[in-house]
């Protein structure tokens, strides 16, 4: 079952509201928020802020922990998306790795046949995380109130963030933390589609397009010194017979009638991409 949005009207009772009309992400040009030049040269430091205050704002100002207080044992994207993601993990993750599944829930979408040394989960609902069969351990933390992760520096081979990056109000700090906990050469895979809990997504995401959201996540990596040039993986399914990403697809998606969820992943490595 796909996750339901906490609002009406909506195209399908099981699906979060699709994104509204296009607009570019809001980027800060304020120098006041810039880190000092000495910080800017250190790997893992924040080079610049990506979001302006209105780009971080949510329509629903209630604490996120309240919103996620009850468990949602649903899948937030469809089978096609999940298959694409699991295939990507199959391609990029190695057996024996230590994996952090950030903003996780009761499913991690990892290839079932791959044994990892340790999978640490993070999210906002302990009951959901306790149901996740891939997690060896987990912790609950609201990343919009505090971004520091109580995890050792350089301790993970991979950090994953699935269909959740749109809820981060301070992505620059969170991505700096991702950089910190990754081992040199470790990979971060951020995946998303066009679904969201609209009231809980930040302004820059809500008002964006598929293209601008990819750019936004790319900027989240770029703003932290030391991440490699992000790679983008896109899989845009056809609505049924028409060419992928055609205007008909766009219209059908708008009304929740598309064949399947579009898949986007932005991938970057700490310091270097291992051969
Ligand atoms: C759409 S669900 C995705 C869950 C999971 N990654 C998946 O693939 O099914 C969004 C997740 O983002 C996490 N999340 C939302 N806001 C958060 C916040 N402020 N701090 C930490 N995690 C948050 C919650 O744990 C929630 O489960």
Which residue, among 275, 270, 261, 172, has the nearest Cα to 230 in the 3D structure? 270
- Is 80 exceeded by the pLDDT of residue 12? no
What pLDDT is stored for residue 76 in this prediction? 80
| Residues 137 and 99 sit within 8 Å (Cβ to Cβ) | no
- Is 50 exceeded by the pLDDT of residue 87? yes
- The pLDDT-based confidence of 14 (bands split at 50, 70, 90) is very low
Q: How far, in Å, is the centroid of ligand 1 from the Cα of 167?
A: 8
pLDDT digits (tens, 9 = 90+) for 31-74: 333 444 444 469 999 999 999 999 999 999 999 999 988 888 77
d(CA 1, CA 73): 9
Predicted TM-score (pTM) of this structure: 0.83
End-to-end Cα distance, the chain: 39
pLDDT digits (tens, 9 = 90+) for 95-144: 999 999 999 999 999 999 999 999 999 999 999 999 999 999 999 999 99
Higher confidence at residue 235 or residue 14? 235
Q: Does ligand 1 lie within 6 Å of residue 123's CB atom?
A: yes
Mean confidence (pLDDT) of the chain: 84
- Measure the CA angle with vertex 231, ends 227 and 233; round to 5°: 145
Q: Does ligand 1 lie within 6 Å of residue 68's CB atom?
A: yes
Q: What is the CA radius of gyration of the chain?
A: 18
Cα torsion through 168, 172, 178, 179, rounded to 10: 170
Higher confidence at residue 11 or residue 180? 180
Q: What number of H helices and E strands is found in the chain?
A: 9, 7
Q: What is the mean pLDDT of residues 262-266?
A: 97
> Sheet of 98-102: strands edge to edge?
137-140, 118-123, 98-102, 156-162, 182-192, 263-269, 231-235
Q: How far, in Å, is the centroid of ligand 1 from the Cα of 223?
A: 22
| Residues 219 and 27 sit within 8 Å (Cβ to Cβ) | yes
Q: How far, in Å, is the centroid of ligand 1 from the Cα of 105?
A: 7
Q: Which atom of ligand 1 lies at the shortest distance from residue 169's CA?
A: 19
């Amino acid at each position: 079952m796909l996750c339901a949005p906490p609002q009406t009207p909506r195209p399908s009772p099981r699906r979060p509201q699709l994104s509204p009309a296009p607009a570019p992400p809001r980027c800060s040009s304020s120098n006041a928020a810039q880190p000092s030049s000495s910080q800017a040269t250190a790997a893992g430091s924040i080079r610049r802020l990506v979001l302006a205050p209105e780009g971080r704002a949510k329509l629903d100002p209630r604490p996120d922990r309240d919103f996620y207080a009850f468990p949602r044992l649903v899948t937030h994207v469809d089978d096609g998306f999940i298959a694409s993601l699991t295939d990507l993990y199959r391609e990029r993750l190695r057996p024996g790795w230590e994996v952090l599944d950030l903003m996780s829930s009761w499913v991690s979408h990892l290839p079932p046949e791959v044994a990892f040394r340790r999978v640490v989960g993070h999210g906002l609902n302990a009951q959901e995380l306790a149901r996740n069969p891939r997690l060896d351990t987990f912790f609950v933390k609201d990343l919009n109130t505090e971004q520091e992760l109580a995890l050792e520096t350089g301790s993970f081979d991979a950090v994953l963030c699935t269909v959740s990056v749109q809820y981060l109000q301070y992505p620059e700090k969170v991505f700096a933390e991702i950089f910190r906990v990754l081992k040199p050469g470790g990979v971060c895979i951020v995946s998303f589609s066009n679904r969201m809990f609209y009231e809980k997504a930040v302004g820059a995401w809500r008002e964006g397009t598929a293209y601008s959201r990819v750019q936004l996540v790319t900027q989240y990596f770029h703003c932290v010194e030391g991440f490699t040039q992000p790679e983008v993986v896109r899989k845009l399914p056809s609505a049924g017979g028409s060419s992928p990403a055609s205007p008909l697809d766009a219209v059908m998606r708008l009304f929740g009638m598309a064949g399947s969820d579009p898949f986007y992943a932005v991938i970057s490595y700490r310091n270097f991409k291992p051969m």
